Amino acid sequence: MMAEQQAAPLVVGRVVKPHGIQGELVVEIRTDSPERRFVVGAVLGVLWKSRGTRPESLELAAVRWHAGRLLVKAVEVTTREDAERLRGVLLGVRPEELEQLEDPDEFHDHELEGLRAVRPDGAELGSLLGVLHAPAGELLRLSLPDGREALVPFVADIVVDVDTDHGTVTIDPPEGLLELF
């Protein structure tokens, strides 16, 4: 019998470095809702580059802001050395742990990945590889049929429809947008 495949965790943060000598971690936030993800008692998955005898999850014992940075203390991390071993790891949650979005025009990134990109007339543009969160706004990363990639601003004037039920995202790119890449 085949084991049930578990969905890949979704990244909500990255450990930047240790802070102090008691195992606190400086965390770079990679979620729109840090107030939900980084709370005392939350359990976050740890995504290691290689396997080993390391914690697979961290239970948050304390969370605070200091000088514009998020500092967290995990139950499993008690020394600076423990914290140093976590430098650079990604912290994540399982997709089923995400809350339902109230706005029908909002999506979690993983819901968009893999959608077919089409023009308003139905012509195939390629497929959606992912969403980049840039300072000026979100960009859709497309794989074009000729093997190139393109970045498309995720704004209503260009991305005119997202239909996750049918697996499509309709894009009406301004002239020259897809030729720039």
> Do 152 and 92 fall into the same domain?
no
Task: Please state the domain count of the chain.
Answer: 2
Indicate whether 1 pLDDT > 60.
no
Query: Are 90 and 47 spatial neighbours (Cβ–Cβ below 8 Å)?
Result: yes
> Do 119 and 66 fall into the same domain?
no
Query: What CATH number has the domain bearing residue 131?
Result: 2.30.30.240
pLDDT in tens, 141-168: 999 998 899 999 999 899 999 998 899 9
pLDDT in tens, 118-144: 999 999 999 999 887 777 888 899 999
Whether 1 maps to a domain, the answer reads no
Return d(Cα 19, Cα 179) in angstroms, integer.
Answer: 46
Residues whose CB is less than 8 angstroms from the CB of residue 94 and which lie 6 or more positions away in sequence, other chains included: 6, 7, 9, 10, 45
Residue 158: Cβ within 10 Å count: 15
Whether 3 maps to a domain, the answer reads no
pLDDT in tens, 73-114: 999 999 999 999 999 998 988 766 665 656 556 666 777 888
CB burial of 5-34 (b: ≥16 within 10 Å; e: otherwise) equals: eeeebbbbbbbeebbeeebbbbbeebbeeb
> Do 143 and 73 fall into the same domain?
no
Domain, as residue range, for 16: 10-96
